[in-house]
């Protein structure tokens, strides 16, 4: 994959608060978090509609599991989970207060996909509660102050199945791309994009999150334009169930930017980082 950066629009930037450490491991992002006062580490995942707690952490934090539900992730099957209520969560300097969470066994997806022991996933709760500036290259994340103006190109956010999407272009075709910091694997494109552009299958890749592994076909996107940056020959997996013009971009693309998310303001800001291959 190669890319070309077009000039970015620089916006006024006010002095900011200190950044917190961001662990980047196998393309996935981890932050310190407390759950009912218990210290832990959580996968930072803007693609998760709710925060997820493993039963190991739930027991440690005194969380009582409630009603059982079937949770459908990106894996092959659904998974059994439980809701829990009034859980106190704090991370990245933000006290989220009593929240509803999902209690779910994360051991399979942690060992197979995440490649790191993981007993918590910090979902969009944190993104809905604060503006976050995420810098994968410097490995830090911080909240923006009330009067701080983000740097970079502003892209509008559009909700899609609980995940926020940004406008991108694939081979001249306008596409909505899910902004997924929890995806440390290849981008995902819909069957609709593959059919419209006549993309040829190049192979298969083992993918799938919660719910188990699933084999997906792979294709190559000749060009992908995100916030004025052109990426060339991008390998992506194919979501057979999506016939629309949708895709999902994770950290393989997002690492080329400093991204500031503003879910409440319905925008994300992309500041290109030079010198990344």
User: What's the predicted TM-score (pTM) here?
Assistant: 0.88
pLDDT, one tens digit per residue, over 165-175 is 999 999 999 99
Please state, in angstroms and rounded to a whole number, the distance separating the CA atoms of residues 133 and 38. 25
Q: What is the mean pLDDT of residues 203-222?
A: 83
Q: Pairing state of beta strands 257-262 and 214-226? A: unpaired
Domain boundaries, the chain: 20-143, 153-272
Tell me whether domains 20-143 and 153-272 share a fold.
yes
Q: Which CATH number describes the domain made up of 20-143?
A: 2.40.70.10
pLDDT at 67: 78
* pLDDT band with cut points at 50, 70 and 90 for residue 207: confident
Asked if the 153-272 domain carries CATH number 2.40.70.10, the reply is yes
Residue reference for tokens 């999150």: 209
Average pLDDT across the chain, whole number:
89
């Amino acid at each position: 994959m190669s890319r070309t950066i077009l000039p970015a629009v620089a916006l006024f930037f006010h002095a900011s608060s200190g950044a917190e450490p961001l662990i980047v491991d196998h393309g996935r992002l981890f932050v310190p978090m407390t759950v009912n006062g218990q210290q832990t580490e959580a996968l930072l995942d803007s693609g998760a509609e709710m925060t997820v707690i493993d039963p190991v952490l739930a027991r440690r934090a005194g969380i009582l599991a409630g009603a059982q539900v079937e949770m459908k992730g990106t894996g092959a099957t659904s998974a059994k989970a439980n809701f829990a209520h009034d859980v106190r969560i704090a991370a990245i300097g933000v006290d989220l207060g009593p929240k509803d969470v999902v209690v779910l066994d994360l051991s399979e997806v942690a060992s197979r996909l995440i490649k790191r022991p993981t007993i918590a996933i910090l979902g969009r709760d944190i993104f809905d509660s604060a503006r976050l500036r995420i810098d994968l290259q410097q490995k830090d994340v911080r909240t923006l102050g009330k009067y701080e103006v983000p740097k970079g190109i502003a892209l509008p956010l559009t909700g899609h199945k609980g995940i926020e999407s940004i406008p991108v272009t694939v081979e001249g075709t306008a596409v909505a791309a899910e902004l997924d910091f929890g995806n440390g694997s290849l981008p995902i494109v819909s069957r609709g994009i593959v059919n419209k552009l006549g993309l040829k299958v190049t192979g298969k890749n083992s993918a799938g999150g919660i719910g188990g592994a699933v084999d997906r076909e792979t294709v190559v996107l000749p060009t992908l334009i995100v916030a004025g940056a052109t990426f060339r020959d991008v390998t992506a997996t194919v979501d057979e169930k999506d016939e629309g013009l949708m895709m999902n971009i994770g950290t393989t693309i997002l690492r080329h930017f400093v991204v500031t998310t503003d879910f409440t303001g319905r925008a994300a800001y992309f500041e290109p980082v030079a010198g990344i291959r």
